[in-house]
């Protein structure tokens, strides 16, 4: 079975559905409250497991109730936690997600035990054994170390630096990455930064919510318009998109009638974006940052839409 190693944040999320996102000095009414596991690395790991990938996770949680709940959810989803550290002197990171009626999200949180993993804590053999490595927000030096080990072993690397891109120096990791995921806002910094001495074959996948996604490559760019769905919660849509993209890059998800061996082929790239956008759309149409779709779910969604 194909193995993907994800590395980065593992959170416990408290989702508050509100009638509106409050303005400064304003107030909003809470319609409902829901708790579940979160964190971009953990979300991608769970989504990949749902798509039939052997999913391994490198990250950290605290030795507390939230950490135990997060671990149980991940284990139930089929994620291998041999690389997950349990930290005694820091609590599990908790994020509070405010979700309005349009599915838009604002986030409050603390780092907690999220940044406990340092380069010396990472087993390099675990990285080398993977078929693909996906990195999310974490200590820059840890992300850089994992990316270096993977790339030197010939393991493809993808990277989603997340909202804190402007606050941290991820240059070394960006240079090592074969695929970079970013929102349309984050992409401005990535595509125009001086790190652009990147590998000639690097891809940058730029997501724009309901407006779909654009894939930038050295030999051109392709796009997919996305899918019109009634958004319920967009907090995990980007992670679901990344999982779908990674799965198809490994030859999974598209079905036996699709050939993606020539990754310079625009039609193959468009099919990859289509599948990834379908994963993101289904996630956005469900409550919580971690709704799991199977390959059959995605194919059924695409058959209905096409």
Per DSSP, helices labelled H in the chain are 40-50, 65-76, 124-129, 140-152, 171-176, 184-192, 237-249, 266-284, 295-305
Give CA–CA dist 110/94, Å, rounded: 6
CB 15 within 8 A of CB 232: no
- Positive or negative, the CA dihedral 102, 37, 149, 120 is positive
How far CA 28 is from CA of 97, 102, 166, in Å, comes to 13, 14, 29
Joined together, the tokens standing for residue 261 give: 């061996």
Sign of CA dihedral 269, 274, 280, 283: negative
**Chain centre to alpha carbon of residue 4:** 12
Report yes or no: 9 and 41 within 8 Å, Cβ to Cβ. Answer: yes
- Which of 101, 184, 239, 259 is labelled catalytic? 239
User: CA–CA separation, 189 vs 197, rounded Å?
Assistant: 14
Asked about 239 being catalytic, the answer comes back as yes
Longest Cα separation, the chain: 56
- Catalytic residue set: 239
């Amino acid at each position: 079975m194909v193995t993907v190693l994800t590395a980065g944040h593992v959170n416990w999320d408290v989702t508050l559905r509100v009638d509106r996102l409050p303005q400064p000095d304003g107030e909003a009414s809470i319609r409902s409250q829901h708790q579940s596991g979160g964190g971009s690395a953990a979300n991608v790991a769970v989504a990949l497991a749902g798509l039939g990938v052997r999913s391994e996770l490198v990250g950290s949680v605290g030795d507390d109730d939230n950490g135990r709940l997060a671990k149980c959810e991940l284990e139930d989803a089929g994620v291998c936690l041999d690389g997950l550290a349990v930290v005694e002197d820091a609590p599990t990171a908790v994020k509070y997600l405010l979700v309005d009626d349009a599915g838009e999200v604002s986030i409050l949180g603390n780092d907690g035990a999220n940044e406990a993993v340092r380069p010396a804590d990472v087993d390099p053999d675990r990285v080398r054994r993977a078929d693909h490595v996906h990195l999310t927000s974490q200590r820059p030096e840890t992300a850089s170390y994992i990316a270096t080990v993977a790339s030197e072993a010939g393991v493809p690397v993808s990277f989603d630096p997340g909202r804190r891109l402007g606050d941290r120096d991820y240059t070394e990791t960006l240079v090592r990455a074969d695929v970079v995921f970013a929102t349309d806002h984050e992409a401005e910094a990535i595509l125009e930064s001086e790190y652009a001495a990147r590998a000639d074959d690097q891809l940058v996948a730029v997501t724009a919510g309901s407006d779909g996604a654009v894939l930038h490559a050295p030999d051109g760019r392709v796009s997919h318009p996305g899918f019109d769905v009634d958004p319920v919660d967009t907090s995990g849509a980007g992670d679901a998109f990344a999982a779908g993209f990674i799965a198809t890059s490994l030859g999974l998800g598209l079905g036996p009638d699709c050939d993606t061996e020539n990754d310079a082929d625009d039609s193959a790239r468009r099919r990859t974006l289509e599948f990834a956008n379908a994963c993101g759309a289904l996630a956005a149409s469900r409550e919580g940052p971690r709704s799991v779709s199977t390959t059959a779910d995605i194919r059924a969604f695409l058959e209905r839409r096409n």
